């Protein structure tokens, strides 16, 4: 019984020392870090509801990246300890819009202040949400959800978006109605715009998800380090 107790104590000490060393080296446990940040583990990944929006984070160990509502976050370093995945602290902090710290071998989360979010971000502005890059071609001025997702995943944090009034006086994320609507310079209604499939310039076979200004702000709830620069096209 004494030998068993000593073995158990040795195992616990070894576990604590190894985990503390991982944390000290800047590798943090994925599950503990996300739970500390307010996420709940489910069969699909990790979820959190905020402002009536549900954020879902999935970890893909094979590709070494997180998927956060289709925004991609590559990690720099990762390892596994006792079937638990650990990734570098900086990647996790970008993912959860906060700061992580090691307190006696346990993970602690602190919500980041806005001045910290852009500290190491590129200062290039992604105009109209940024270019959509595909194998055969690039297209621009889509002001689409896909443009935000793709360019945020590439590291952009400053997004210029064009806004034009719909026929029922809502702000649509569109450069103009002459080139990017029905090509007749007549404004669509907000309902028509939400059902519309956007395209860019040059026009390609691909179609993209349209947004009203509220949809853009929803993306800023998901990723709190996004900065919006408005370019309103109507008074």
pLDDT by residue (tens digit) across 15-42? 566 778 888 899 999 999 999 999 999 9
Mean residue pLDDT of the chain comes to: 90
Angle between helices 213-222 and 145-153 in degrees, nearest 10: 30
pLDDT tops 60 at residue 219: yes
User: In terms of DSSP H, where are the helices of 74-171?
Assistant: 89-96, 114-117, 145-153
Q: Given the structure tokens 């616990």, which residue do they identify? A: 12
State yes or no: pLDDT of 210 exceeds 90. Answer: yes
Better-scored residue on pLDDT, 13 or 148 = 148
More confident residue, 114 or 29: 29
Q: Residue 12 above 60 pLDDT? A: no
DSSP codes, 93-116: HHHHTEEEEEETTEEEEEEPPHHH
Residue-wise pLDDT tens digits, 61-96: 999 999 999 999 999 999 999 899 999 999 999 999
Q: What is the pTM of this model?
A: 0.87
**What's the rounded Cα separation, in Å, for the pair 199 and 213?**
18
Kindly tell me if the per-residue pLDDT of 6 is higher than 80. Answer: no
pLDDT at residue 135, rounded to an integer = 80
- Please give the average per-residue pLDDT across 94-120, as a whole number: 80
The yes-or-no verdict on residue 191 having pLDDT over 70 is yes
- Residue 132: the pLDDT is 94
* pLDDT score for 106: 85
Whole-number pLDDT of residue 184 = 94
> Are the beta carbons of 15 and 25 closer than 8 angstroms?
no
How many angstroms separate the CA atoms of 150 and 131, rounded?
8
| pLDDT at 4 (0 to 100) | 59
| pLDDT exceeds cutoff 70 at 11 | no
Q: Residue 215 corresponds to which tokens in the numbers above?
A: 């949809």
For the cut 60, the answer to whether the pLDDT of residue 120 exceeds it is no
Say which DSSP state 212 is in: B
């Amino acid at each position: 019984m004494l030998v068993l107790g000593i073995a158990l104590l040795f195992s616990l000490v070894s576990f604590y020392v190894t985990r503390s060393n991982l944390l000290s080296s800047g590798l943090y446990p994925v599950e503990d870090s996300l739970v500390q940040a307010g996420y709940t583990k489910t069969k699909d990944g990790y979820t959190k509801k905020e402002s009536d929006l549900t954020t879902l984070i999935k970890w893909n160990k094979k590709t070494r990246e997180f998927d956060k509502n289709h925004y991609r976050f590559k990690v720099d370093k990762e390892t596994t300890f006792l079937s638990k995945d650990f990734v570098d602290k900086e990647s996790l902090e970008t993912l959860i819009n906060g700061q992580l710290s090691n307190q006696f071998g346990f993970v602690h989360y602190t919500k980041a202040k806005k001045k910290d979010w852009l500290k190491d971000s590129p200062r290039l502005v992604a105009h109209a949400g940024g270019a959509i890059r595909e194998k055969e071609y690039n297209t621009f001025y889509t002001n689409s959800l896909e443009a935000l997702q793709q360019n945020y995943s590439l590291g952009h944090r400053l997004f210029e978006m064009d806004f034009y009034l719909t026929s029922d006086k809502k702000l649509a994320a569109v450069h103009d109605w002459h080139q990017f609507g029905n090509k007749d310079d007549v404004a669509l209604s907000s309902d028509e715009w939400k059902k519309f499939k956007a395209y860019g310039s040059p026009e390609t076979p691909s179609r993209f998800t349209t947004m009203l200004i509220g949809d853009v702000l929803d993306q800023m709830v998901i990723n709190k380090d996004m900065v919006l620069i408005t370019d309103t096209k109507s008074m």
